[in-house]
Amino acid sequence: MRTVIISGANNGLGYACAKELALNKDIYLVLACRNKEKAEKAVEQLKNLSNNNQIEAIILDLASLQSVRQFEAEFAQKNLPPLRIIICNAGVQFIQRRTYTEDGMETTFAVNHLGHFLLVNLLLKHLKSPGRIIFVSSDTHDPSKITGMPAPNFQDPDLLAHPELDSTLKDKSASDIGRTAYTTSKLCNILCAYELSRRLEKQGLSTEEHPITVNVFSPGLMPGTGLAQDYPPLAKIVWDYILPLFSFFPKINSPQQSGQALAKLVEDPLLRQVTGKYFSGLQMIESSQESYDVEKARQLWDKSLELAGLSKDEVIIR
């Protein structure tokens, strides 16, 4: 028996992945979700579909550092099977307005990167080998790919958390700022994953005999999810109802297709020692050139420790 935690698992990719994993009676599923009602509904649906009662929800709001800490505290109090897998899946995108969390940080950066960064760091003491950590990113992080999204703009993480201090954004539209914040957050996911993989190996916490691997998964273009919640009405209709009709196209995936791929990535025994890699679906490919910048990854890691309020006593990975 092993425990799997999936953030944002009440719908979209997270739910589709959970539906696949729930069929394995050796897995205890924890759905880490912001909305209690939706999370409990997802738990009941999954139990009915899989005939598996080893599923529960724990509230997690990645826009609140306190909520992330509360999630870890509640998880620690439960007598669950060993934690083996953490899937950092939840994500948001705001293109009509700039929003901030209760901690005063830009929401896209805070949810997509910083909340998951804190979550993983707090859960590392519970993670048992062989363990796997998977960050869900996006091909939109790579400017060499044609995605219709702007290139990421990685800079001082203080400015990513507090874009109101960035004078270069004053003449940009809310749409450009929001979409760039999203692609930048997806780059942060990869920089963070690669840096965590390096640090685990350097500190001897991930070895050939007792591996803890960290990889990145891109679901590809996957319409029909909640990611378009802040789109204008017409664009939202296209994303939610029209594009899903074309999921038979090679470059368009349904949540079910991508969820199946993510579940296979979680369970594939051949990947037991594979770490620091980027997967587009089930294909291992190179991520963007910038994502391999070790200095940027170190800068992001060190500043994220500060922004997340992690004390030295809490940090396992240094």
Q: Which tens digits make up the pLDDT trace of 236-269?
A: 554 454 555 555 555 667 788 899 999 999 999 9
**Per-residue pLDDT reduced to its tens digit, 73-107:** 999 999 999 999 999 999 998 887 889 999 999 99
Q: Give residue 60's pLDDT.
A: 98
Q: What is the extent of the structural domain holding 237?
A: 2-307
**Per-residue pLDDT reduced to its tens digit, 60-82:** 999 999 999 999 999 999 999 99
In this prediction, residues 198-218 reach a mean pLDDT of: 95
216: β partners: 135, 278
How many separate helices (H) and strands (E) can be counted in the chain? 10, 8
Q: Is the pLDDT of residue 317 over 90?
A: no
> Does the model's pTM come out above 0.85?
yes
Give a yes or no: residue 317 inside a domain. no
Give a yes or no: residue 316 inside a domain. no
**Per-residue pLDDT reduced to its tens digit, 128-162:** 999 999 999 999 999 999 888 899 999 999 999 99
User: For 32, phi and psi rounded to 5 degrees?
Assistant: -100, 100
Q: How many domains does the chain have?
A: 1
Q: Give residue 241's pLDDT.
A: 47
Give a yes or no: residue 126 inside a domain. yes
Give a yes or no: residue 104 inside a domain. yes
CA dist 10 and 55 (Å) reads 12
Active site positions, annotated: 182
Give a yes or no: residue 314 inside a domain. no
Give a yes or no: residue 133 inside a domain. yes
Q: Give residue 146's pLDDT.
A: 83
What is the domain-level CATH number for residue 112? 3.40.50.720
Give a yes or no: residue 318 inside a domain. no
Please provide the average confidence, as pLDDT, over all residues in the chain: 91
Give a yes or no: residue 313 inside a domain. no
Other beta carbons within 10 angstroms of residue 65's beta carbon come to 22
Contacts of residue 146, defined as CB under 8 A and 6 or more positions apart, other chains included, come to: none
